[in-house]
Structure 1
């Protein structure tokens, strides 16, 4: 007897449909009743661009329409990515460990806030339904998306940040004075009704062009342009659709995974706020 939905599909095709290690489960996830909040967490092992393997946490909240991704880099840095679909906001946070033997603080936090575009990542309700067949498998992305350079020229007022996204107050609590965004994203949010008073312009491009990169500055009290790069090693970026003779339209049957890197440049009033940035 053929499994449901496989009638008329060649055996080889059915085998191919079983290959993805992360599968789409149709219907209500186990343990979640009708009307209950669909919260789910998936932990996967991923290979970083440098070759090391780390564990990544993917949390989906379909009621609040958001996704949280977290991973720890080999140097101890904790990277978090939040997609807030309701507010069209994505937040990148890095908790960078300091070198105590050099007199640095225990850690330094950075938050970068940008506009969330359509189809950057799968919907929260789709993420909540993901399961993996082999938890010990090491995931590698099917697609490596291009490096994105972002010039962060606006500071975000932490005390009002909850109006931009309710996640910002929790995620960026350690980065009160280091929350950055871009003018082009601010223009979009203003059109959505966000209050402009939460944004403060940093020195203009023409002024920053006269400043050296922090890696070239020895005086820890001097202003400079800081650089920070981060990488989302593995995340579900698209839904896959399958065809069947039993169904008149394509149906969701899996995900496509991606990797994406970002380079952020931003102004700091003192070199000591950018100690990790060193010239090669």
Structure 2
């Protein structure tokens, strides 16, 4: 297998099914040696199984690539550290981290339990931070030792985290946090040669089987816009050395459409040389709203 990732070593989390599986296969097809991480849980995060990760490894090897399986819980610090160590011990280095693992427990806010909130925030947000933290520490160490690498991190946010999604408040909060984490990590890791970007994919996976099933269905014929494999070439390019001038960005992908997200930025300003009187704030804010574009409404808004 040769391609734009020839000779590079990648970790893909949550790579046993759906988007993660498609990413692992595409990265391997482009020449990367891949650590296929998957805990093997259900779509709601229940249970574990080594099967999904091992099946993807077998598929990569059957196509002539190199891959190993990892069953770590990426939100566990010790397991995340061991995951990074496995990549280095097995393949001699680490160049790419694709953070993808996650699950959903959709609820309206007033019906969401504490356990559901904690579980979703943990797997998405902490499950991004823990591998990023240890991969980043490895690349900092390499840079300080005079062995800088053209390292890449690709995080997975979502339109739910950028525009919001009714019935997915917890998931939306976690994915918004990932977008913010991406911006900070891009700045902090830049001195070590690391770029950090995020994708906001739209694809047919176990996580979209519920509220979006109708729009995600595969067509009887023609281009399947919701095939997870449509997203993976963008991930592969972001993982390549060629993407070194791109960092701190969120890229939305659906089918053959690539959209560069335009996140929070300073807008119109009203300013006094003294403290505001509370009664004057309303008119000032309404004038600012009139001078600003209307925000996009959350997915599912009526």
TM-score bracket relative to the smaller structure = under 0.3
Identify which of structures 1 and 2 has the higher relative contact order when contacts are C-alpha pairs closer than 8 Å and 6+ apart.
1
Structure with bigger helix share is 2
- Decide which structure has the larger Cα Rg and report it: 1
